[in-house]
Amino acid sequence: MTETDENIGVNTPLETKKPQRASRKRVKGRDRPDSSFTPDPSLIADLPSPPARQTRDAEKFFSYWSRLDRAHPDRVVAYVYRLFPIIDREILNKTKNIAIMPACPGPDKMAFYAEMGCGDYRIFLNDGMKRNKTICTLLLVEGFRDFDNYPPEIELEDIVLNDPGNAVYIQKMRMKGVNFPGLYTEEDDNFMVNQPNQPAGAAALSTLAQTVERLSLSQMNQPRAPSLDGEASARALDSFSKSVDMSHKILGAAYEKAANIKVT
């Protein structure tokens, strides 16, 4: 009697099953998860140490930033804040920073000025792979004011018009034909004078405002007499201050009237 496989207890091979893909129901209205993976910051190698945590040395800062960009591309990012000209972005619900730079503009500060314009800045250099931890901060305050060749990249609505620190910048830009939103200009005077249906006193008020402004500027530009003693100088300065104050009040009234004119 011949022994069979069944007699000796040998099982016949099972059929090979095809692997099945795990089924997952897609929830309606839910986006696919982000495919990007953020590793544990503790497992990421530290960057080379900066020249200082906080520094005013622009050359060392930009040299360090440039080296990091070459050695660790797409890892370091800079947050730029403007200190001059003086701006206020929060009043318009904007971010405090004026720019986020994913790469170093160049090996020195002039490359930065070429992109952002002259002025004063604070720059935070952050490590994007370490939960945006700040590596180094530069306070770039060197009095660089080349408005002709390096005009600041600014949204005019952000400028704080009533801050005395902006007077030189505003005057320089107005000479170039730049009009700032909300700033009283000679064009407002001309508009009021040329309106046929405006109240009779508005044109006179506008003309007076122009006259006071011109007289104030004329007095400011006149050279001082060398023989004036201290008391006379004080009186002259007080007189000029009063004339400027009067000019501002009249200009404000004229501008307010111009805003209320109904054009037909």
- How many other C-beta atoms can be found within 10 angstroms of the C-beta atom of residue 184? 18
Cα(213)–Cα(189) distance, integer angstroms: 12
> For residue 103, what are its two tokens?
């790469």
Cα(243)–Cα(212) distance, integer angstroms: 7
Cα(66)–Cα(93) distance, integer angstroms: 32
Question: Bridge-partner residues for 76, per DSSP?
Answer: 127
- The β-bridge relationship of strands 133-140 and 54-55 is parallel
Cα(135)–Cα(129) distance, integer angstroms: 12
pLDDT at 164: 93
Cα(186)–Cα(191) distance, integer angstroms: 9
Give how far Cα 222 sits from Cα of 27, 202, 216, Å. Answer: 78, 30, 10
Contact 69, 116 (CB under 8 A): no
**What angle separates helix 200-221 from helix 186-193, to the nearest 10 degrees?**
150
Tens digit of pLDDT at every position of the chain (264 positions): 544 444 444 454 555 555 444 443 433 333 443 445 556 666 677 888 999 999 999 999 999 999 999 999 889 999 999 999 999 999 999 999 999 999 999 999 999 999 999 999 999 999 988 888 999 999 999 999 999 999 999 999 999 999 999 999 999 999 988 888 877 655 544 443 444 444 444 444 445 545 555 555 555 445 544 444 556 555 655 665 566 566 556 655 555 555 454 443
Contact 120, 84 (CB under 8 A): yes
- How many other C-beta atoms can be found within 10 angstroms of the C-beta atom of residue 231? 8
Q: Is 132 left (phi over 0), alpha (psi -120 to 50) or beta?
A: left
Domain boundaries of the chain, sorted by first residue = 47-158, 184-220+241-264
Nearest to 210 by CA among 239, 194, 187: 187
Cα(195)–Cα(83) distance, integer angstroms: 41
pTM exceeding 0.85: no
- How many other C-beta atoms can be found within 10 angstroms of the C-beta atom of residue 252? 12
